Amino acid sequence: MLDPTHQLDALFGVVNIPNVLWIDEDGIIVRPPEPGWPPGDDYPDWLRSYLDERDATVEAKAKEIEADDPELAAKLRGGQDRDSYPDAIRDWAEKGADSVYALTPDQVVERSQGRSPDESAGAAHFELANHLWRAGNQEAAIPHFNQAHQLQPGNWTYKRQAWSLVGNEKAGGGELGRFNQGPLPGEEAEWPFAGNFTEEAGSTPAADYYPKTADL
């Protein structure tokens, strides 16, 4: 799904991808946004290999520090289980409201988080930054992207939008340019943001980058 104006964030609070939102036939939210993946068998070989390698690295690190810092070890292991989510969706599709994974409206409201003043201000800066960028005033957009990142540090869609826009230009566009989310070698001083995808995603514990889906 393409969401260039980030309406899923504005309306539902999506702050990272991939996220899944359950809505029933009557338009009622059954589960608010949460991380969710297809089963690993559906991944291309290169992605399955990458994820297996990353999971092994995380587990090795968790074992290494478990004795000295069990809380951090648990946090490192706290990422989403990529193999269980499709089964939960199948259970809901078969049983509807009787599925153990279907939440009541009160539970959905309880799990849905309101915006703090900083988050609201961050959303305004992000919208203004995108408007300025689309209008061709890219230099003016950068400070607003940075403000949005500072006010909502956990919103990865805000970060990746800005990193991708600038990274694509620095890479010269093209088919793969949009996947560049950081400075090119030797151009680090020209990167206009405090972070980039490689540095931040690589140093963020799994449970912070992808919070564990509740009750799955």
Query: Tell me: the pLDDT tens digits for 141-177?
Result: 999 999 999 999 999 999 999 999 999 999 998 878 8
The residue-averaged pLDDT of 83-92 equals 88
In angstroms, rounded to a whole number, what is the distance separating the alpha carbons of residues 13 and 7? 9
Q: Which residues contact 40 (CB under 8 A, 6 or more apart)?
A: 48, 51, 82, 83
Segment 183-210 mean pLDDT: 87
Q: Of 181 and 62, which is predicted with more confidence? A: 181
Distance CA 26, CA 102 (A): 14
Report the alpha-carbon distance of residue 207 to residue 90 in Å, rounded.
Answer: 25
Q: Domain-by-domain residue ranges, the chain?
A: 40-79, 117-206
Question: Per CATH, which fold does 117-206 belong to?
Answer: 1.25.40
pTM for the predicted model, two decimal places = 0.80
126 with 145: CB under 8 angstroms?
yes
In this prediction, residue 204 carries a pLDDT of 80
| Percent with pLDDT over 70 in the chain | 94
Q: With bands split at pLDDT 50, 70 and 90, how would you rate the model's confidence at 214?
A: low
Cα distance between residue 144 and residue 138, in whole Å: 10
What is the distance between the alpha carbons of residues 215 and 123, in angstroms, rounded to a whole number? 29
Residue 94 has pLDDT above 70, yes or no: yes
pLDDT digits (tens, 9 = 90+) for 50-59: 778 877 887 8
Give the pLDDT mean for 106-124. Answer: 91
In this predicted structure, what is the pLDDT of residue 201?
81
Place 41 in a pLDDT band, splitting at 50, 70 and 90.
Answer: low
